[in-house]
Amino acid sequence: MNTTKNVLPNEDWQVQVNQEIISITLEELKDWVKTGKLHPNQPVKIKNLNWVEANKILALQKLFEAQETKEAKRNSARSKSKSETSENSFLSKFFAKSAETKNNQSKTKSKSSAASPKADKKNELGNKIAGYILIGIAIVLPSVGGSFVWVYFLRTPPTVDEKKITELVTLETKLLQDKNNLKIKYNQVSQNAQLTQETSALDTQFNNKRRGIVQNEQVKQQDSSFYTYSLISLAILAIAFLLFKFVYKPKG
């Protein structure tokens, strides 16, 4: 557009404002730039020429640059003012909180000094309770732990007297009855193979159940031994502690 590079006329200018075309002079356009009413990308033109953005007009470019510089300075001043305000607010809150903390500490000290005898008694009672708890742990842990290791790991598993297990005796009686029933059922010589097969199946089934019953009985005996050893160990350690407490007297 050659018109923007040469001497521009003052009259016959047009500008688009909200899809409305307004006739205006060049001087008025300059005033609009200074007041911020005309934006850099807003369409303007001289009559009978094409529309261009306002910042493409040579006569308006310096005004737009000056306007941008002013706006940048304003924004910088605003941000600086905000940062100073926030810093002052933070400092005031910090010092107010610090003063409040000191007041609370002084109140706490005065209360603690007034209630020091009660606090001492409570501390003494708490120390005694903690001491008894530690002594109890020192007695229980070795007793229970030692008994557990001895019964379940070091000691030989107990021998089970199968004749005294009622469940196992009943199972053996049932096995004999089932075998007799099979003999009655397969009484022919030609049926000996089938009799042997079913008898073997009964024996296998009986042995599996017998093994489970014996293992359960061993576990029961181990549990009973564990409880017995634990109680005996607890009693021995407790008596030893009491004797030590009442017999031993430190010098001085």
Q: Is 13 exposed, middle or buried (0-12, 13-18, 19+ CB in 10 A)?
A: buried
**List of long-range contacts for 52-60, beta carbons under 8 Å, 24+ apart:** 52/1, 52/4, 54/15, 54/29, 56/1, 56/4, 57/4, 57/8, 57/29, 58/4, 58/5, 58/8, 59/8, 59/26, 59/30, 60/29, 60/30, 60/33
Per-residue pLDDT of the chain (252 residues; tens, 9 = 90+): 444 444 567 778 999 998 899 999 999 999 999 898 899 999 999 878 899 998 998 889 889 999 889 888 888 888 777 766 665 666 566 666 666 777 777 666 655 555 567 777 888 888 889 888 988 898 888 878 888 888 888 878 888 888 889 998 999 999 999 999 998 988 888 888 898 999 999 999 999 999 999 999 989 988 998 899 889 988 998 888 888 877 876 554
The domain spans of the chain are: 1-114, 124-247
